[in-house]
Structure 1
Amino acid sequence: MTQDMLSNRAIVTVARQVLETEGAALQLMANQLPEDFCAVVRLMLATTGRVIVSGIGKSGHIGRKISATLASTGTPSFFVHASEASHGDLGMITPDDICILISNSGETQELRDVVAHSRRFSIPLVAISSKLNSTLMQAADYKLLLPKAPEACPMGLAPTTSTTLTLALGDALAVALMEQRNFKPENFRTFHPGGKLGAQLATVAQLMHTGDSIPLVPMDMPMKDVLLVMTSKGFGAAGAVEGGVLRGVVSDGDLRRNMEHLMSCRAADVATLNPVTVSGAMLAAEALAIMNGRKITTLFVVDEAGVPTGILHLHDLLRAGVA
């Protein structure tokens, strides 16, 4: 066996040990959820201000992520650096806010001014720590105690398991709040308008063509006139309406199937009746799935009464980055 193979085996062994150690700690916390967890969720739901997260070092990095997750999932939040708080940033924290302070030891000196500020102005204080009898936990109104679990670092010094637990606890708070608020995909898109995620959460109404752009014809229109509408609108389809309600769709495929007697027909003779339609509130990604499943390139958008409100083409989805 080569030295490289021996080295790879050792690397894989260590990696597995780390993941198993941290995984076991997460399971332990799931089984021993902090006693004040539900109370903290209710506190955050009821606040009229923001959730201020603070920490130093690795705890600070984790705190930034927790704050960012909260803010992007409907809970106003921002991170205050513990050291900067002592040099003016305490002014960012108001009596309407909640403070979540993170310190694995519970004895982080840099947090003392934030703690004092919260006590002075009666700002609810939530502490995340693994030491129940620490200074921070004793000062807190709500205590989120991390379970006793070894760090994955072989020396037991580098924050590994403890930071993973804190990060996961922050995710648990954020998701619990999302569930309580009935946070929906459309709400999520409000905070994620850019990039691929924003595109995936776009609605049909945001991408569809409306007004005069919609190719609509009466059911009794002669096909020679229907062809002119289809050509001028450029969607390769026309919606056949009766009484303002969409009754059918004339597509390129319908034209080919009726080629022999096409010019003697009316829209009603050629159209596919009871066509598949979508609502404007549907996610664009769902509309794309329908197009792929039905092997079509256009979808008419209708309201609850069946009245056409728009048309969506596959190219619209591609340009928006949905596909």
Structure 2
Amino acid sequence: MNYIDSGKRTIEIERDAVNALLERIDSSFEKACELMLQCSGRIVVTGMGKSGHIANKIAATLASTGTPAFFVHPGEASHGDLGMITKQDVVLAISNSGQTEEVVTILPLIKRMGAPLISMTGKQSSALATASDVSLDISISKEACPLGLAPTSSTTVTLALGDALAVALLEARGFSEEDFAFSHPGGSLGRKLLLTVEQLMHTGDRIPEVSPATPLTEGLFEISDKGFGLTAIVNDAKEIQGLFTDGDLRRAFDDKLDLHNTEISKVMTKNCKTIQSKALAAEALQVMEEYKITGLLVSDEENKLVGVIHMHDLLKAGVV
């Protein structure tokens, strides 16, 4: 048994099936997209068996890319779940044969309800295709399964066509990364695009800060006490004057400065990098990575110190 040859042959057959699908992305596909885009309700996706698994995934992809959708099992639809469908919805029914009993059974009820029906089927003369407002062709020349029994190429083609619909609708809606993040708040993208500096920064007594006239030794105590490896230098109005870090301390040692009598303003970094509290946490990460620093002072619109954020905060929140 040559496992590698078998695996490659399967992928080649499925690749060819998907390539053949390209020629069938035509006016029917365009009409299906328009029906789904104009839908004032939900896209109800249904299918039985392996087609049902693919239908469930297509519904999830549509929902996460800006097209409200959900899956209804056709067998359950005949026993009450059909009440989940309204005339404001669009039904997307999937059956390779187009004759799946559980799907065909509910077709008259969908038509009577007045909900537009889009089908994905490999048989354009089938009951499902005939009953549909738009029928999308998912026919294949052969399954990758050598017995021709297990749905393989057919399910791959169906899934690819479902993705094509979802992406076309995403682009038509102008769906953005931020929109995607709102439907995935628990994911890494949601954390990167939704979390703000304000939500992660340290405030109040946790902020390391000293006045410009503070001796270097006291500045070092502030850095050590707060544990961020830096301290802000602010005036009486809390306006940021500069920043003193471990790196500035090393330079002070190299210059053999008197740590007790040198004011911190003499050795601080002026025009230091800051970020506003309303900025996204991802922006703070970008600044830190670009300038190879591990902490940022957080300011308001008047350049007044309101907080501090450290790379550890971004790591802990999963932004990195």
TM-score (norm 2): 0.85
Aligned to 1:252: 246
Q: Quick one: which amino acid aligns to residue 173 of structure 2?
A: R
* Alpha-carbon offset, residue 160 of structure 1: 0.9
Amino acid in structure 2 at the alignment position of 1:254 = D
**Structure-2 separation of matches of 1:15 and 1:313:** 48
Residue by residue over 1:128-177, the C-alpha shift from the partner in whole angstroms, topping out at 9 and shown as x without a partner, is 11222221111111222225432112232321111001111111222222
Q: Does 1:74 align with 2:76?
A: no
Question: What is residue 208 of structure 2 aligned with on the other side?
Answer: 215
Instruction: Pick from 80, 83, 86 the counterpart of residue 75 of structure 2.
Output: 83
What is residue 297 of structure 1 aligned with on the other side? 294
Q: What's the CA shift string for 1:101-136, capped at 9, x where partnerless? A: 001111111113432222112111111112222211
Aligned mates of 1:306, 1:54 — CA distance in 2: 56
Q: 1:244 to 1:70 in 2, by over 3 A?
A: farther
Between the aligned residues of both structures, percent identity stands at 45
1:269 aligns to 2:266 (yes or no): yes
Summarize the Cα distance change of 1:34–1:282 in structure 2 as closer, same or farther, 3 Å threshold.
Answer: farther
Q: 1:154 aligns with which of 142, 146, 149?
A: 146
Q: Distance in 2 between matches of 1:80 and 1:296?
A: 51
Q: Which moved more, 1:200-209 or 1:107-116?
A: 200-209
Moved more, 258-267 or 214-223: 214-223
Q: Describe the superposition over 1:194-239 as per-residue Cα deviations: whole angstroms up to 9, x where unpaired.
A: 3555545553436521542443445555545544543443322123
- In structure 2, distance between residues paired with 1:31 and 1:269: 71
How far, CA to CA, are the matches of 1:114 and 1:130 in structure 2?
19
Q: 1:178 to 1:216 in 2, by over 3 A?
A: farther
Of 211-220 and 60-69, the range deviating more from structure 2: 211-220
Residue 6 (structure 2) aligned to one of 10, 14, 23:
14
Change in 2 beyond 3 A, CA 1:45/1:234: farther
Superposition deviation, residue 287 in structure 1: 4.2
2:232 matches 1:239: yes
One-letter amino acid of the structure 2 residue matched with residue 156 of structure 1: G
Q: 1:261 to 1:24 in 2, by over 3 A?
A: farther
| Secondary structure of the corresponding residue to residue 72 of structure 2 | strand
What is the aligned partner in structure 2 of residue 103 from structure 1? 95
CA–CA separation in structure 2 for the residues paired with 1:283 and 1:40: 38
Q: 2:262, 2:107 → 1: CA distance? A: 81
Gaps of 5+ in 1: 1-6
Q: After the TM superposition, which residues 1-323 of structure 1 pair with which residues of structure 2 at under 5 Å, given as runs?
A: 7=1, 10-194=2-186, 196=188, 198-199=190-191, 201=193, 203-205=195-197, 207-212=199-204, 213-219=206-212, 221-241=214-234, 246-259=240-253, 260-278=257-275, 284=281, 287-288=284-285, 290-292=287-289, 294-302=291-299, 308=305, 310-323=307-320
Distance 2:138 2:132 in 1: 15
Distance 2:22 2:305 in 1: 50
Q: Distance in 2 between matches of 1:204 and 1:297?
A: 17
**Matches of 2:234 and 2:258, distance apart in 1:** 22
**Aligned pairs, number:** 315
Is the contact made by 1:203 and 1:281 (CA closer than 8 Å) also made in structure 2? no
- TM-superposition CA deviations, 1:254-281 (whole Å, max 9, x none): 1222142344344432222333344557
Extract structure 1 runs of 4+ deviating beyond 6 A.
none
Instruction: Decide whether aligned partners of structure 1 residues 25 and 273 sit closer, same or farther in structure 2, where only a CA change above 3 A counts.
Output: farther
2:207 and 2:308 in contact (8 A); partners too: yes
What TM-score does the superposition give when structure 1 sets the normalisation length?
0.84
**Consecutive unaligned residues in structure 2, runs of 5 or more:** none
In structure 1, C-alpha distance between the alignment counterparts of 2:118 and 2:90, rounded to whole Å: 8
| Aligned-partner Cα distance in 1 for 2:270–2:244 | 9
- What is the Cα deviation at residue 97 of structure 1? 1.4
Task: Give the superposed CA RMSD.
Answer: 2.9
Secondary structure, counterpart of 1:272 in structure 2: coil
- My pick for the range that moved more, 192-201 or 167-176, is 192-201
Worse-superposed segment, 245-254 or 94-103: 245-254
